[in-house]
Structure 1
Amino acid sequence: MKRTLCLFLLVAMSLYSYAQHTDIASVLSQLPDVSFEKLEAANGSSNYTLHIKQPIDHEDASKGFFHQKVYLSHKGFDQPTVMVTEGYSANQLRTYELTTLLDANQLQVEHRYFGESMPDSLNYRYLNLKQATADLHHIKQLFAKVYPKKWLSTGISKGGATTIYYRYFYPNDIDVSVPYVAPINTAYEEQRIYSFLETVGTKDCRTNIENFQLQILKNRAQIIPLLKFYSLGAQANYSYLSLDEAFEYAVMEFPFSFWQYGYDCETIPSKSASIEDLTEYFLTVSNLTFFSDATIETYSSHYYQSATEMGYYGYDTKKFKNYLKELPTDTNPMALFFPFEMTDTFDGQLLTDVNKWLQTDAHKMLYIYGEIDTWSASAVPPNPDVDSEWFILPGKHHGNARIKFMTPAEKQRLIQILETWLQIDLAPQLD
């Protein structure tokens, strides 16, 4: 082990020296267990798709390996580097806000067990945050000497949560972490979601949402035939859930989705609206296909992580008990769906440990949340005892709680924080 470490350090040191006098492709060709393909250059960056060999179990290489997909955007060896911690698949190269703001290199890392980053033998036992963040740590080790300047990590939603967990497991890998709209739950069933939905917005708007749900349920006999035709056109099938189950889940999902993406209360159809208009609006806010076979299969890894380690949300069905035929009303059904028999159980120890760490030792974290985003119910609470900063953006939701939508004062504050923490000067380059 000691000899292997020494060899790795020698390779890393030679790479750093080599990088100062050559191009990034030559450096990539020297990295161990990394294959790469050049992409079209854009925005002054040289872009590549990488596949990096990772152990399925970082504590026991005999369990086998998989290749993790990473997009690299290279700006310069003397530029800072942003590691994007995706929570799901990375289907295309995207330039993130911090990368633009810092004129930085970017490593956009697909999460293990998503997209192309799948082991041949899909043993979910090794899909946990300890292993996922060890993937990120290995990538940081590979590129630390290639890019010796400041390192930041960032991610959105589950990717933002991954950024937080990465900092928890490897606090010295990154100089500054910037998670966007990142939920960190406190239990298997996050109770704060319910209280959030009971208080967000105005009372009139919340009443109109509930009345709309009731109207959809009361008219199910006319709406479900329309949903069948819609599903036929969408090529959506329902075998893990029946169409009737999917319908009821979509009705229960409606308020969560409404606030998550900031729909306008004034657009909720009135009681006199036609069945067609009710159905169209229902599908716009809470699309039935979210509960179809294809979506459940796509998000199976996500559901597994939520059910075993990260926690998730459920639906309060009690107030609709007279109109639900498929879902339980004596308990809150969880928004978790599996294309396989789920036998593993939830272990809440990591959530306990991380939530404690966040209140005592999570420094140089810059949190960005939307005020009306449902996932802000699970936001990391502001705490003056740590050297971190919070931006809770008024009126913003899961999709637009971003730097580019901040007010000039908010942007300036963010830039000043980054300049102080990173000890660099920034010239704002965002629209």
Structure 2
Amino acid sequence: MADATTALNGGVLQRRQVVTALPGPRSEALQVGRDRALPRGLGKVLPIFVERAGGGIIVDVDGNHLIDFASGIAVTSVGASAPAVVDAVSEQVARFTHTCFLVTEYESYVEVAQRLNELTPGDHAKTTALFSTGSEAIENAVKIARVATGRSGVITFDDAFHGRGLFTLAMTAKEVPYKRGFGPFSDQVHRAPFPNPLRWPAGAEKAAEEALAALRSLLAEVGPDTIAAIVVEPIQGEGGFVVPAPGFLPGLVEIAAEHGIVLIADEIQAGIARTGQWFACDHEGVVPDLIVTAKALAGGLPLAAVTGRAEIMDAADPGALGGTYAGNPLACAAALATLRTIEEADLIAAARRIEEVVRDELQPLVGEGGPVVDLRGRGAMMAVELVRPGTTEPDPGAAATVAKRCHEQGVVVLVSGTQGNVLRLLPPLVIGEDLLREGLRVIVDAIEDI
């Protein structure tokens, strides 16, 4: 794991330092203007305004240094001001900012596609199309699956999150705040059980087998010849960082192949080294037909991709894929620098070490009768599930209280889970171990306080 002297911190002092109440006076003043100018539908986790960030630290306009356990929701894995990314973008912006790849082309788009074709699971022939956001990429993956199969139906899973676009909202399981009032949604989306080992009624050992059986029953009900794609998060994100029971993902591969269905892996949050492998699918040797990436792909710039079997990707007619900003040259330059940084700094190993440290600090909290029922995840994608003591009943109030106390102490954490009772930890892969442990101990203290 990188230490506090790493060159990847963008020159930001790697130390927690709370000098005002949070939010501080300058952030509060800016918040007044924010609330006047922006609609209330734009949420906020911690109402501070950022001056700079790098490594594992966010510095706000009041001079507070906060430990970053969010990474912009799994985006700034190489740090928020990684020198290689800054240099690549600076060099590119001086040459040209945009041409639209569909009008006049540039090498970096092709180079990003080539790298993803190499890195994603499987040794079959692949091609890649670039987009701007994860939701956009998911919808394009579904479009590709539909034209390749001549079918329209899509299967997703309980507690899934796939985006905020109108079709991806239909795929998203959580009603509030994402879906309420935005319907009606497509009736071509079907939902199957997801094998959450903690909460499967018959126990974790039966979860994969019974979830696959339920999927087969659903296919029999709707007709497998109506289903274009099965879309799955190899580790659920907004659903609470749920790692499916072992054997479930390989079972999906078999079922999809049996019925000629395109298996789409949503690696938007889990991919690009976050889980201690390049992709979460790699942990079980799963090779999806299409794989969707975004978030950490370009080190903070908006870039997403659909990578997959060439014969499936080529089903769309020329001109059917793309977008004005899709594969923007600044984002492509950032992506190449990000992928290079992950390799040169061995950040895959750093993600594994982060998991070791998180388990070392937080595992003692897990036990019968306490508020922590589960510590789970892989690599630098870890979660703490909070319940009412002595039960398995979700306790969103406890999660909100813990998050608030962490924020007050200068540690940025996020809440997730369909019931809002899960703390999710997404530190940058370049965070120093001392800083990581300091932030985790703040979490421990906050949990023990409740």
TM-score of the superposed pair, with normalisation by structure 1 = 0.32
Greater C-alpha radius of gyration: 1
